[in-house]
Amino acid sequence: MSDHCIRRRLETLAGPGALAVDRSGSIGMVMAIALVALVVAVGAAVDLAQVLRAQEILQGSLDQATIRAALTTGSSYAEVGRTTLAANLSDTDIAEENLNSTFVRNSDSSVSGTATITVPLSFMGIIGKSDTSVSVTAKATPKTSSAAAAGTVCILLTSKNSQALLVNSGANVSAANCEIHVQSSASGAAVFNSGTTINSKKICIKSASIIENGGTHPNLEKSCSPASDPYAGTLPAVTVGACTYNSRNIDAATYTFQPGVHCGGVNFNSSKTVSTFSPGLYIIKGGDWNIQGTLKGTDVTFYFADTSKFQFNSGAGTYLTAPTSGTYANILMYETTANSYVSQWPWNDSPGHSLSGLIHLPSRQLTMNSGMTASLDKVTVVADSLILNQATWNLSPDTSAISNGSAATTTTSGVFLSH
């Protein structure tokens, strides 16, 4: 029988359309596969953002911990690093039980820190990957330099009232190469309470009347001749123009500020935000900056055109350095001469900061509150008055230290941080 006949016979037996192909099932299968691929892609993007955020938080926390470890002498440096790292992460959503960290002292006295965390993944479990490991590194290298300084007065308080200097229980100031001068001749010009330590080169108080309630503060001199303010009326005049930026709320994990006139204040809504200041002059007016997170900036100057202020809130780590040349050389922060009354300037529970340059705020009462810790400040501070509350302040002269009548070569220390 021929092939043609066989084919006709089969069609007759099976009926019309029996040999047609049903393709509806294959189209559904393709759509299902495409939907799964889309879900996996979206989930992977969400998980990646979560991993990058965890890495950024871990890096900032490790940076501060490694700096603290490098500034710690003796064998306890590693424990200091681990404790600081855990404390920095305690108010984040990173699970500390998954944290592994090491701190190693190198032959050049630097400290290398590493930290690894396991980050759970929300969506990638679909393809069998429930978590991933994130690792960061940091290296902090102490430096020592010698320079001819104009003097060694790091803190000058210009108030003429009582309690121009108030040192409360728990305050600890380490400033072996610095002097603290108080211009007040009022009764009770300074108050020292029990449980305090100020290790400074000298404390010079114009008044013969102070209140001694205990504490350790050697090299204290009453009826002393304090330094005058050499910067009064001499700092660069600033023309405040139109607002470049207006009131802002910062929610992003990272944010970059640019120089200009910043009006209306800034609220940092997350303690995890890392803010970077580009070099230049920042004019602050018409509102306070409520600061959280980490601030970093080199070659920056902040001018306060009115009573606006920086309020450093819980968890604020601040690493700012003044320019070394130009109109605002060595000026980190200063204010208008038009402020006619004293206002407060609080520094609250900072886990660490390193500042360098002149801070000239003669109409402000500086308050270092509980938990404030300075890794190392190389600053000259001129303020109306100063309150120290359970603060740890490591202080060293900068190149603008106020003359106390004798030229001297001072040794200053700092830290290089690298990744």
- Identify the residue with better confidence: 321 or 405: 321
Beta strands per DSSP E along 84-129 = 100-105, 111-120
Instruction: For 337-368, write each residue's pLDDT tens digit.
Output: 999 999 998 887 666 678 899 999 999 999 88
The angle that helices 24-70 and 77-89 make with each other, rounded to 10 degrees, is 140
Do 137 and 106 meet the contact criterion of CB atoms below 8 Å apart?
A: no
What was the pLDDT predicted at 397?
86
**Average confidence (pLDDT) over 168-182:** 91
Quote the mean pLDDT of the chain: 82
What pLDDT score does 289 carry? 94
Strand partners, 245: 262
How far is Cα 92 from Cα 87, in angstroms, rounded to an integer? 10
pLDDT band at 371 (very low <50, low <70, confident <90, very high): low
Q: Kindly list the domain boundaries of the chain, sorted by start residue.
A: 27-145, 148-418
Whole-prediction pTM value? Answer: 0.63
Q: Categorize the per-residue pLDDT at 44 as very low, low, confident or very high, splitting at 50, 70 and 90.
A: low
For position 10, what pLDDT does the model report?
45
Which pLDDT score, from 0 to 100, does residue 279 have? 97
Measure CA 124 to chain center.
34
Question: Does pLDDT of 15 surpass 90?
Answer: no
Closest CA to 142 of 189, 167, 105: 105
pLDDT value of residue 74: 79
Percent of the chain with pLDDT over 90: 44
The DSSP 8-state label assigned to residue 14 in this structure reads: H
pLDDT in the model for residue 26: 65
pLDDT band at 280; cut points 50, 70, 90: very high
Instruction: State which H helix or E strand residue 280 sits in.
Output: strand 280-285
Higher-pLDDT residue of 23 and 140 is 140
Alpha-carbon dihedral of residues 261, 267, 271, 273, nearest 10 degrees? -40
User: In Å, how far are 60, 132, 133, 146, 192 from 52, measured between CA atoms?
Assistant: 13, 11, 11, 41, 47
pLDDT band, very low/low/confident/very high, at 57 (cuts 50, 70, 90) = confident
Per-residue pLDDT for 406 more than 60? no
Per DSSP, the residues of 20-85 read ----HHHHHHHHHHHHHHHHHHHHHHHHHHHHHHHHHHHHHHHHHHHHHHHT--STTHHHHHHHHH
* pLDDT in the model for residue 96: 60
Tell me how far apart the alpha carbons of residues 182 and 228 are, in angstroms, rounded to a whole number: 10
The pLDDT of 15-28, averaged and rounded, is 53
Q: What is the mean pLDDT of residues 128-149?
A: 70
Residue 127 has pLDDT above 90, yes or no: no
Q: Is the pLDDT of residue 283 over 90?
A: yes
Residue 257 has pLDDT above 90, yes or no: yes
The pLDDT value given to residue 412: 34
Closest CA to 384 of 181, 158, 227, 187: 158
What is residue 62's predicted lDDT score, i.e. its pLDDT? 85
Higher-confidence position of 182 and 66: 182
Do residues 187 and 209 make contact, with C-beta atoms less than 8 angstroms apart? yes
Residue 150 has pLDDT above 80, yes or no: no
- pLDDT, tens digit (0-9, with 9 covering 90-100), for 83-125: 888 877 776 666 666 788 999 999 888 899 998 988 777 665 6
Percent of the chain residues topping a pLDDT of 70: 76
Average pLDDT of 60-66?
A: 84
pLDDT at 9: 53
